[in-house]
Amino acid sequence: MGDNPSRSADANAGGPGVTGRHARAAGTGVSPIPPDDLTPLGGGGGLPRKTRFSMESGFRGVTIAAGAMVLVIIVAIAIFLISKAVPALRANTVSFLTTTEWFPNDSPPHFGVAALAFGTVLTSILALIVAVPVALGIALFLSHYAPRRLATPLSFTIDLLAAVPSVVFGLWGRDVFLEPVRDFSVWLNHYFGWIPLFGGDGPFGRSIMLGSLVLAIMILPIITSLSREVFLQTPGMNEEAALALGATKWEMVRTAVLPYGKPGVIAAVILGLGRALGETIALAMTLGITFSISFNLIENGGNTIAANIANTFGEANATGRGALIASGLLLFGITLVVNMTARAIIYRRREFRETAA
């Protein structure tokens, strides 16, 4: 081994296989490499410098501005409602939250929103109880059971029903649906009058039941359409895996489709609840317009915050208008709490956040 000549640090001593770059690496000093000898690694050039403005940064700015604008609008609405409601609340001589009477035009004014808030929540909950099972059944039928030639036109029809104005539903409920509901109320009172929900001596017809059924029909297309879209997003591998394990069609739906679509169904139900809480004209035409707290569903009566605003705004004085705005502020708060609760429920499920993004 000692006979082998050592490789010289000089470039010329290395033979033809030693280049200038090898010579620099072999030597002890650091000598600069000529610019012509530099070649970019990987065959590509350097990364381009980030420009000050691009389509991506512009789009990001637009989306941030749009999101901030929503918050600004919400805050502006709250400030407007508070500023208009405070004078009426100061002039009120009774508790606004616990009083059932509504006489803001009297002198001195005395009014409360207890009966209105109760009617708003009661009609909305009853509407959800009626609409949600039917909507989920229709959505599952259209997404997993109906043939395509039938599911497509039915889905299109349901989407059209969601766009029907509320005044149309209100007129239909008052002029067409009132008679069947009255007859059904009489039957319930005759056979189940011992239950407080169906008791009373009449008259029947324009009641909580009529308003809730009309409201259920109104929110049915919204919940159905959104639930159908959620069920259609179920991964095919999940469904095929359930069927491969020997599950029936219903077992596949119960174990693969419904758990995956649960957050989306919750969102659809909350969206329907939001419309039910704020419905105005349809309930103004179908409810009996009374200011009392009662769980009786078939006797004439019932009222909501939105319906009361529509019915009494025209004849209200300055204090009366402030009282109506104060009730609208309470409805605004109820809707905000409901939507925040729904978002919290949805965000708890990580997989829904990933698919909805």
Assess if residue 167 is contained within a domain: yes
In the predicted structure, residue 11 carries a pLDDT above the cut 70: no
Q: For residues 74 and 18, which has the higher predicted lDDT (pLDDT)? A: 74
CB atoms within 10 A of CB 137: 13
Assess if residue 245 is contained within a domain: yes
Which residues constitute the domain of residue 204? Answer: 113-356
Alpha-carbon distance 267 to 272, whole Å?
9
Q: What is the pLDDT of residues 92-121, one digit of tens each?
A: 888 888 888 898 888 888 899 999 999 999
Assess if residue 225 is contained within a domain: yes
Q: Given pLDDT bands bounded at 50, 70 and 90, which one contains residue 21?
A: very low
Mean per-residue pLDDT of the chain: 82
Say how many domains are in the chain.
1
Give residue 6's pLDDT.
44
Assess if residue 170 is contained within a domain: yes
CATH code of the domain containing 183: 1.10.3720.10
Assess if residue 26 is contained within a domain: no
Q: What is the DSSP letter of 92?
A: -
Q: What is the pLDDT of residues 172-216, one digit of tens each?
A: 999 999 999 999 999 998 888 888 888 888 788 889 999 999 999
Assess if residue 102 is contained within a domain: no
Assess if residue 180 is contained within a domain: yes
In the predicted structure, residue 320 carries a pLDDT above the cut 70: yes
Q: What is the pLDDT of residues 233-289, one digit of tens each?
A: 888 888 888 888 888 888 898 888 888 888 888 888 988 898 888 888 889 889 988
Assess if residue 52 is contained within a domain: no
Q: Do residues 205 and 178 lie in contact, with contact meaning Cβ atoms separated by under 8 Å? A: yes
Alpha-carbon distance 235 to 96, whole Å?
51
Alpha-carbon distance 266 to 99, whole Å?
33
